[in-house]
Chains A and B, each alone.
Chain A
Amino acid sequence: MTINQISVLVENKAGAVAEIISVLAEKKINIYAVNMADTPNFGILRFIVNQPEEAKDLLEREGFLVSACKVLAVGLKDIPGGLTKVTKVLNQNGISLEYLYAFISRSAENACVILNTADVEFTAQILNDAGIPIYGNEIFEKAGLL
């Protein structure tokens, strides 16, 4: 069970993020989760949106460098050490994280994180076997967003 994410290369200049977000807003694309990672030279903006394919097309037409990939939305217990359970399982199975970011769901009772690894299908399997909840798009649907 995976979720589609899009990543956009962001120029290191004022207003660059605003430009990207306004492209999405104009076409009424809803952003569920967002994360920005930066290096000294440029940033990468990652989104979970309601229409990932349309968003990718739109941004590419505007000349942005965009990639789409599958990531996992994972539920955590909202208590100290909640995330440890996940990282422990990954570690025991020799899976390393590419990146991870948190988001809030109005429907899930748990805290949620988006994470990416070299092999998301395998990671989903492992987490599932360990009893850790993996969400699909329904997590957004429940909130009445999709």
Chain B
Amino acid sequence: MAEHIFFDKEKETMKRKDIEALQLEKLKWTVNRCYDRVPYYKKIMDKAGVKPAHIKKLSDISLLPIMSKADMRENYPFNLFASPLEDIVEIHASSGTTGKPVVGAYTKNDLDAWSECMARIIAASGVTKEDVAQISFGYGLFTGAFGLHYGLQKVGCMVVPISSGNSAKQLMLMEDFGVTVLIATPSYGVYLSELAKDKGISDNLKLRVGLFGSEVCTPEMRDQIEDNIGIIVTDNYGLTEIGGPGVSGECLERDGLHINEDYYLCEVIDPDTCEPLPEGETGEIVVTPLWKEAFPIFRYRTKDLAKITYDPCKCGRTSARMTKVMGRTDDMMIIKGVNVFPSQIESVLFTKPHIGPHYQLILRKKNYMDTLEVQVELIDSSLLERYRELDALQNDIRSSLKSVLGLDCKVTLVPPRTIQRFEGKAKRIIDKRNETEA
């Protein structure tokens, strides 16, 4: 097993009681800052009958109201800021595909804290100052590219800020600059790895690590990327509303994502009742950042589903670990009353031979009944001469999906490269249930 690298070993291996003491101190600071400086927070805390002084132990966090995207929208753009605008040095925003974007803001100290969190995650995936890192996330309002950029520079890497798109150039620079670390969404990582293979340049690349984030990456998808270009892929987690990436990331054991607990306090709640769930149960992750000057927030509902364990990790870090995100409460499809996550379907598809890694899910309504069609690319041309195997493959995928999802769906094999590729987050679900189709 590879050697485990730490960025700040002392902080990353603190005893549990020391972590908790530090968390409590920073939680009090955050709650005070919210209450004293942001009228909206004061209003909702007063309404819930909770004062900063009520936070005496970590579990008192459950006294605070839970915040959601709606609270952010209501206060768009700057009403939740706790620092004067002149102290703010950087603004980010979510894509805002369904309305006004959600804004993130950073003071100079905030950028330092953010870089520190990122540097730890980057070091945990085995990256050192000797590495050359290509950032294929889109630069702009999106937090992903800048978060990784700051963290990689803090580690001391040479950063290639190519941004997303222009795949041929991506590969050219990878080859010419001797890039060793790739930062991308998993679906773009798959696409680039396919392209490298097609062009026959996989062997010329020095890539050894991929830090993939901003969308769910199943272990099966990870293995496929690793096979294609021979790299180690790690996952990391965060979202714009709570500061961008930096909440947690995998070490080389890849047995859960280590939470930067001195910077983030994470809870798991039942998404329906909002009640905290016991350790080890899967629920919605709720995050309280403990470092934010410009835009503090508490108990933010992420809509991401995962579980958290406090068991020690083989790497030596003492931090709590969250599992890979298993799905988002708003990605969840309810089909004929059955809850289905795209990640479940992806896990099945990645175990099957003869098909490619890209897929699309199409929901329709037929005679008042929901139907699910899974489209996936057939990449093995020899099956065109063997109908029975083609048929058997289709039936095999369908029956595996049925046993995992508890739902019968239609499996359609389509020609290679007909499913749309994405440079950012993949949009795999097409819901036509409210459309009338010919």
Binding site for B on A (CB under 8 A): 7-12, 39, 41-42, 44, 63-67, 69, 98-99, 116
Contact = CB atoms under 8 A, between A and B. Distances in A.
Contacts, number: 48
17 contacts: A7-B381, A7-B384, A9-B415, A10-B415, A11-B414, A41-B412, A41-B413, A42-B412, A42-B414, A44-B384, A63-B415, A65-B415, A66-B381, A66-B384, A69-B385, A98-B386, A116-B385
B286 to A, nearest CB: 43
Given A9-B378, A9-B415, 18 more contacts: A9-B381, A9-B413, A10-B415, A11-B414, A11-B415, A39-B391, A41-B413, A41-B414, A42-B415, A63-B416, A63-B418, A65-B384, A66-B381, A66-B384, A67-B381, A67-B382, A98-B385, A116-B385
Given A65-B378, A65-B379, A9 B384 contact: yes
Q: How large is the interface on B (under 10, 10 to 19, 20 to 34, 35 or more residues)?
A: 10 to 19
Interface in B405-434: 410, 412-418
A98 B387 contact: yes
Contacts of A69: 385
A18 to B, nearest CB: 15
B410 to A, nearest CB: 8
Contacts of A65: 378-379, 381, 384, 415-416
A139 to B, nearest CB: 22
A34 B410 CA distance: 29
A4 to B, nearest CB: 12
A67 B381 CA distance: 5
A130 to B, nearest CB: 25
A64 B385 contact: no
B417 to A, nearest CB: 5
B385 A67 contact: yes
Interface string B120-145: 00000000000000000000000000
Interface of B: 378-379, 381-382, 384-387, 391, 394, 410, 412-418
B66 to A, nearest CB: 45
Interface centre among B378, B385, B386, B387 (most CB of A within 10 A): B385
A7 B385 contact: yes
A7 to B, nearest CB: 4
Contacts of A41: 394, 410, 412-414
B285 to A, nearest CB: 38
Contacts of B414: 11, 41-42
Contacts of A98: 385-387
A90 B319 CA distance: 70
Those 4 A-B pairs whose CB atoms lie nearest each other, nearest first: A67-B381, A7-B384, A41-B412, A67-B384
Given A65-B379, A66-B381, A99 B387 contact: yes
Nearest to B414: A11
A122 B413 CA distance: 32
A99 B387 CA distance: 9
A84 B38 CA distance: 89
A82 to B, nearest CB: 25
A42 B387 contact: no
Interface centre among A8, A9, A99 (most CB of B within 10 A): A9
A65 B414 CA distance: 9
A99 B415 CA distance: 21
A7 B383 CA distance: 10
Contacts of A9: 378, 381, 384, 413, 415
Contacts of B379: 65
A65 B386 CA distance: 14
Given A41-B412, A65-B378, A11 B385 contact: no
A7 B378 CA distance: 14
B412 to A, nearest CB: 4
Contacts of B418: 11, 63
Nearest to A46: B384
A64 B387 contact: no
A118 to B, nearest CB: 9
A81 to B, nearest CB: 27
A11 B377 CA distance: 11
Contacts of A10: 415
Contacts of A12: 412
A116 B412 CA distance: 25
